[in-house]
Structure 1
Amino acid sequence: MKIVYLKTNNIANIFNQLQQDLGGKLKIRPQEYCLELNNNLVSGVISGVSFKNNISFMEYDIVFKEDMLLINNMPITNPIHFMYCAKGRISHSFGIKGEKRLLNQFQTGIFSCDPSQDTTLFFRKNEVVKLSNIMVDTHELDQDDENTDLLRNQLLKTFLPKPGQNIFAYIGSYNLKIAEKIQQLGAITQKGLVRNLLIKGIVHVILAMEIQQHKEDRKNAKNNFGSLTKDEMDDIKELSNFIKNYPEIQYSLKYLSKKSGLSPAKLQEGFKLLFDRTVTDYIRNVRVETAEHLIKTTDLNISEIVYSVGLTSRSYFSKIFKEKYNCSPKHYQDHQNSVAVTA
């Protein structure tokens, strides 16, 4: 079993240590690091970025060829770790001999401890893992930033160990919305300042979503609300992608229930949980967003676009389009044309 020890909050030092222990090729650009690995021990990529408010983001998209322990301990103060497993599974414990907590695909985990404890991650041999980790150093945030100070106070109150305890551990329910944000990070192609700002924006959204997930899980536990299983979450995700790919189909709840194998009640629960929309509202939103994309990228007229996204009434389409984008489809299309001519 391979063991790697990380004893620093500084992301540059973290990547230097990872390269020293794991090998690979380290690429560096301003505030961003990418370690490409392909050897007898590990293959894949570990990437990371740091921000001025002492928030760092790391992503492991890797497979180890033997069991692996990644042990994180800071000599003065440990950050709060906001983790999300987008692929595979991973176990967390405080110390090598501590209680193992399994983080499955699509689950969030929030962990913090005092400096007497180690944060330990267990990577299983030959298992592909995609894990994101937002590290927030709550003890060194910039006090000149009012918003940062509010964030710090909330994190200290909610996620640091309570008096008399030295650890905080939380494993959340399944969440696919965070997976979509992780995909958005991977799709960023811009460079320089624009790239850094886009990454920072999405990372902060992911952090907010993890905090909200914790809040909702506590509320649901108190009210004994049910939750979907992982297989049901997978079915909802597959169904939502199908709707995105084929918005022109005349959907009904009965049709979607039969296709997914889930009851109408499960469908409504799942779409509300994952997208904060009813099934009907989700379909309508997909159609409007698809239509907006077609207006921008094709020469189809409005009537053709209406029918291509599964609607039959142009007046109804104009109504829901204006509700979302605060302008009529025709005005939007004319504006696109004028921009093209100007360009």
Structure 2
Amino acid sequence: MSRFLIEIQDVNDTIPKLASLFKIGFKADLTEYTVLIPSDLGKGKITGVNFPNGLGLYTYRCYFHEETEIVHKNLVFNPIRLVHCIQGDVFNLNEEIPEEIKITNHEHFFIAPKKGDSHTLKFPKENTVSLCCLEIDRAKFKKYLPFELTEIEPVFYSLFGDVNALQGKYHTGMFSLKVSDIIHEIYNCKETGFPRINFMGAKSLEILSYMLSRYRKEVTGKGLINVTGREYKAVEKVTEYINNNLANLETIPELALRVGVNVNKLQAIFQSVFGQTVNEYIRDVRLSKALSLLSRGDIQIGEIVQEVGLNSRSYFSKIFKEKYGVLPRQILHHESGFIPEHLNEQKKSKKKEVN
């Protein structure tokens, strides 16, 4: 087994110190750090970026040849960590935990180590793992808030109020496809530099907001639907089918039958996971794809309407404007100052040629 102990004195220590332990270099782009897994250990990469509000976002996409432990020991600040697994299995260990806790696809784990304690992520050998770790520096986050911590609900104060980490806390959460979707957006982000850092900062807050809502439901038991792992996997299959078959979608009863869940249960799970009905989810996926196609500027609205599975161009324009505040044609014909991305790139190229 390989074991790497990272003693952290500053929020930006994690990736550089891990790179040093790996005996390899790392890449820095503004405040985002990346280290590649050395070939003798496995493959993949680990990235980390920290923000002024006390949030840190770390992503692990890795494969290790042998069982590997990465141990985080914070010497100065006392963080809360939210570990969310996208693919594979990962084990969490800590002095306060009686036995290691395994999380797998779409499961998450909250941990706030006691001052001086460590938190270990254990990766099984020959296992492709993809996970996101949201780290909250409680002292910084407290200063960032525009109100006193004593004003927040007790369920959250027990986590965020213990800035000096006098007590250790941990909580194993339930499945969350919504957070997985947000993390996939981070993985798929093609932006670079300053826009990328801002995008990741916004997504970090989105993850935190959603997971705090789930944490409240899980701790209090209020508003939480009891859903099995099999049922969550059914919803995952439905969302994958929806995204890949927008032009020729089946009816909701047919979707439910496809994954072996009754219609009412399917609707209930969608409300729990996405806060939407199945139809509302489908509408948003359609509009999101339509926006992407319109932004290209080379496909006519009628074609887009068909490609996203709608029959009425007027209905499409109506729901598009309700969601985005502009008509599809304004984006397609770059009215109101909107310039499709491909035209913007052409404009930049011509400007360079002139200069």
Q: Which moved more, 1:96-105 or 1:238-247?
A: 96-105
Contact persistence 1:73–1:115 (CA under 8 A)? no
Structure 1 length as normaliser, TM-score? 0.85
Q: Which residue of 2 aligns with 1:269?
A: 268
Q: Which residue of 2 aligns with 1:172?
A: 173
- Is structure 2 residue 235 aligned with structure 1 residue 236? yes
Residue 174 of structure 2 aligns to a residue whose secondary structure is strand
Q: Which moved more, 1:48-57 or 1:327-336?
A: 327-336
**Alpha-carbon distance in 1 for matches of 2:11, 2:116:** 21
User: What is the identity percentage for the equivalent residue pairs of Structure 1 and Structure 2?
Assistant: 24
**Alpha-carbon distance in 2 for matches of 1:161, 1:2:** 35
Q: Which residue of 2 aligns with 1:34?
A: 34
TM-fit CA distance, 1:80: 0.9
Contact persistence 2:224–2:272 (CA under 8 A)? no
Do the aligned partners of residues 280 and 68 (structure 1) sit closer, same or farther apart at CA in structure 2, a change above 3 Å counting?
same
**Alpha-carbon distance in 2 for matches of 1:24, 1:148:** 43
Contact persistence 1:66–1:125 (CA under 8 A)? yes
**Alpha-carbon distance in 2 for matches of 1:75, 1:338:** 51
Contact persistence 2:112–2:165 (CA under 8 A)? no
Residue 310 of structure 1 aligns to a residue whose secondary structure is coil
Q: Which residue of 1 aligns with 2:207?
A: 206
Q: Which residue of 2 aligns with 1:297?
A: 296
- Letter aligned with residue 59 of structure 2: E
Residue 99 of structure 1 aligns to a residue whose secondary structure is coil
Contact persistence 1:112–1:169 (CA under 8 A)? yes
CA deviations over 1:145-164 (Å, ceiling 9, x no partner): 44486699779713259899
Q: Which residue of 2 aligns with 1:121?
A: 121
Question: What stretches of structure 1 of length at least 5 have no aligned partner?
Answer: none
Q: Which residue of 1 aligns with 2:95?
A: 95
Q: Which residue of 2 aligns with 1:217?
A: 218
Give the length in aligned residue pairs: 340
Contact persistence 1:257–1:263 (CA under 8 A)? yes
- Letter aligned with residue 247 of structure 2: E
Do the aligned partners of residues 9 and 336 (structure 1) sit closer, same or farther apart at CA in structure 2, a change above 3 Å counting?
farther
TM-fit CA distance, 1:142: 7.1
CA deviations over 1:314-337 (Å, ceiling 9, x no partner): 443333233223344445544459
- Letter aligned with residue 47 of structure 1: T
Do the aligned partners of residues 104 and 68 (structure 1) sit closer, same or farther apart at CA in structure 2, a change above 3 Å counting?
same
Structure 2 length as normaliser, TM-score? 0.83
Do the aligned partners of residues 317 and 172 (structure 1) sit closer, same or farther apart at CA in structure 2, a change above 3 Å counting?
same
TM-fit CA distance, 1:67: 1.8
TM-fit CA distance, 1:95: 2.9
Contact persistence 1:177–1:275 (CA under 8 A)? yes
Q: Which residue of 2 aligns with 1:74?
A: 74
TM-fit CA distance, 1:132: 1.5
Q: Which residue of 2 aligns with 1:258?
A: 257
TM-fit CA distance, 1:210: 1.7
Question: What stretches of structure 2 of length at least 5 have no aligned partner?
Answer: 348-355
Contact persistence 1:78–1:137 (CA under 8 A)? yes
**Alpha-carbon distance in 2 for matches of 1:63, 1:239:** 28
TM-fit CA distance, 1:112: 0.6
CA-based RMSD = 3.2
Q: How does 1:134-153 map to 2 (within 5 A)?
A: 134-141=134-141, 143=143, 145-147=144-146
Residue 53 of structure 2 aligns to a residue whose secondary structure is coil
**Alpha-carbon distance in 1 for matches of 2:101, 2:177:** 20
**Alpha-carbon distance in 2 for matches of 1:7, 1:338:** 50
Residue 194 of structure 2 aligns to a residue whose secondary structure is helix
Contact persistence 1:141–1:152 (CA under 8 A)? no
Contact persistence 1:90–1:123 (CA under 8 A)? yes
Do the aligned partners of residues 108 and 320 (structure 1) sit closer, same or farther apart at CA in structure 2, a change above 3 Å counting?
same
Q: Which residue of 2 aligns with 1:194?
A: 195
TM-fit CA distance, 1:128: 1.6
